[in-house]
């Protein structure tokens, strides 16, 4: 009997983790603001609460990253998804204070899902961008599937808007069980726990920010250009006379294109390199945002979202690979978490600067136009501070070498 290829097993396990991440992320997050309004939150408080959620993500992501490097990424993922189960369920209570608290807690907990899983998978795949891009479609595909299924449950069952919380509770527990199964006896025995000296938690985060500050500022502007269309495409479709079906199609169109975009991304990276693809992605986000701002019809807005999906894929993987490749041994999750935190920073910029623009102009078009200019400008800023690979600076690159006691970390 032929033994399975170890590389294939690693790839399949990475895909399984991406599927789990996509399923959990697709539950309460896409419906969070609607759940808040259904629970009775005044619309005037929605913007401040969304900004608070972005701040929670911005602060939590680097913290989870540093803790994941110290204590094992899979262990931290299992913990956050386990704690996330009752937080997800709280969204189904219909009590506005409980739902508002759950909204912020979910933002803080879910900030661990993407950076920890991305850094874990990149490490297991030895930094192979091609395989990472292929397994990354699992997260997008499962996210889209869960969102669509939940939409059907909300509209077609007695659960109504409690459905995202109930389903999120179950999927969090399933994902936790899978992660604990991979940890085997380590959670009970305490073996494999990383012991590190060096800087403390806050000092380590600040050192990482200082080391990559220009790159992170550029990324925040790029993600401002990607997050503004994500937030305001639905209202913009309604402004130009679109119906409910067209609103849903425009929102889903970006994710639909992410699937083929990530599949073809390895070829683009080999042909043109990380930096060129990254800048092209920033320009594409700018074109998509400006088209969204100026589009006179829902059909053109849907086309803009298709451009957005490709642009988002083109900026995410090259920039993640760059900051991960520059990480020192034992700081891979921390670097990926800083990368993810810039996405929350982009959302915060949109919330702080965009919402006043909406109030002043009476339309979301101005926000989309400003964000469209921010994306390519941010790409150029990030390009000028592109992280140097660890091999170029005398480091060891994206290895998995860690200092451990008793046994290697299974993270």
Q: How far is CA 372 from CA 102, 214, 274, 308, 391, in A?
A: 32, 20, 22, 11, 35
407 domain-assigned: no
What integer pLDDT is reported at residue 247 of this predicted model? 65
Does the structure show a pLDDT above 60 at 37?
Answer: yes
d(CA 73, CA 38): 36
Range of the domain at 130: 6-384
Average of per-residue pLDDT across 10-32: 88
List Cβ<8 Å contacts ≥24 apart for 306-309: 306/253, 306/254, 306/256, 306/257, 308/226, 308/229, 308/230, 308/253, 308/254, 308/257, 308/284, 309/253, 309/254, 309/255, 309/256, 309/257, 309/258, 309/261
What total number of domains does the chain contain? 1
Q: Which pLDDT band, with edges at 50, 70 and 90, does 411 fall under? A: very low
Average of per-residue pLDDT across 161-189: 82
Average pLDDT for the chain: 81
Does the structure show a pLDDT above 60 at 403?
Answer: no
202 domain-assigned: yes
409 domain-assigned: no
What integer pLDDT is reported at residue 71 of this predicted model? 81
Tens of pLDDT, residue by residue over 218-264, are 999 999 888 887 777 767 777 778 765 666 667 677 777 877 888 88
> What is the CATH number for 322?
1.20.1250.20
Tens of pLDDT, residue by residue over 294-326, are 888 888 888 888 888 889 889 988 998 888 888
User: Per the structure block, which two tokens stand in for 406?
Assistant: 């008793």
d(CA 120, CA 101): 29
d(CA 27, CA 20): 11
Count Cα neighbours of 83 within 13 Å in the Cβ-side half-sphere: 15
What integer pLDDT is reported at residue 77 of this predicted model? 92
Percent of the chain with pLDDT over 70: 86
408 domain-assigned: no
404 domain-assigned: no
Q: How far is CA 376 from CA 17, 19, 42, 59, in A?
A: 32, 31, 36, 26
Token pair 């009997």: residue:
1
Token pair 């005398």: residue:
394
400 domain-assigned: no
Residues with Cβ within 8 Å of residue 48, at least 6 apart in sequence: none
């Amino acid at each position: 009997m032929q033994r399975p290829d170890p590389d294939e097993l690693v790839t399949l396990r990475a895909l399984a983790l991406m599927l789990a991440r996509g399923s959990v992320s697709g539950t309460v997050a896409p419906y969070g603001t609607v759940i808040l309004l259904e629970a009775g939150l005044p619309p005037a408080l929605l913007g401040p609460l969304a900004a608070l959620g972005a701040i929670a993500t911005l602060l939590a992501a680097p913290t989870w990253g540093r803790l994941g490097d110290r204590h094992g990424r899979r262990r931290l993922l299992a913990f956050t998804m386990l704690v996330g189960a009752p937080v997800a369920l709280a969204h189904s209570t219909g009590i506005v204070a409980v739902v508002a608290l759950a909204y912020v807690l979910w933002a803080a907990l879910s900030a661990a899902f993407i950076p920890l899983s991305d850094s874990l998978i990149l490490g297991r795949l030895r930094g192979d961008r091609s395989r990472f891009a292929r397994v990354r479609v699992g997260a997008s595909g499962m996210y889209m599937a869960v969102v669509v299924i939940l939409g059907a449950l909300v509209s077609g069952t007695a659960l109504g808007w409690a459905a995202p919380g109930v389903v999120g509770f179950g999927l969090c527990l399933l994902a936790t069980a899978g992660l604990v199964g991979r940890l085997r006896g380590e959670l009970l025995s305490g073996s494999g726990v990383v012991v590190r000296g060096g800087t403390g938690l806050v000092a380590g985060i600040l050192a990482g920010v200082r080391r990559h500050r220009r790159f992170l500022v550029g990324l925040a502007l790029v993600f401002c250009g990607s997050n503004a269309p994500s937030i305001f495409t639905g209202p913009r479709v309604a402004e130009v006379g679109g119906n409910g079906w067209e609103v849903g199609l425009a929102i889903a169109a970006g994710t639909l294109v992410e699937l083929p975009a990530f599949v073809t991304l390895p070829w683009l990276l080999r042909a043109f390199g990380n930096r060129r693809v990254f800048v092209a992605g920033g320009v594409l986000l700018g074109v998509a945002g400006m088209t969204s701002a100026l589009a006179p019809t829902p059909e053109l807005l849907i086309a803009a979202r298709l451009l957005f999906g490709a642009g988002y894929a083109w900026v995410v993987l090259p920039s993640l690979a760059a900051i991960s490749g520059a990480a020192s041994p034992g700081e891979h999750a921390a670097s990926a978490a800083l990368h993810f935190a810039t996405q929350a920073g982009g959302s915060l910029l949109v919330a702080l600067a965009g919402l006043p623009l909406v109030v002043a102009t009476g339309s979301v078009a101005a926000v989309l136009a400003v964000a469209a200019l921010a994306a390519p400008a941010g790409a150029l800023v990030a390009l000028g501070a592109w992280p140097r690979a660890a091999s170029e600076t005398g480091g060891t690159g994206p290895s998995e070498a860690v200092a451990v006691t008793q046994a290697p970390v299974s993270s």
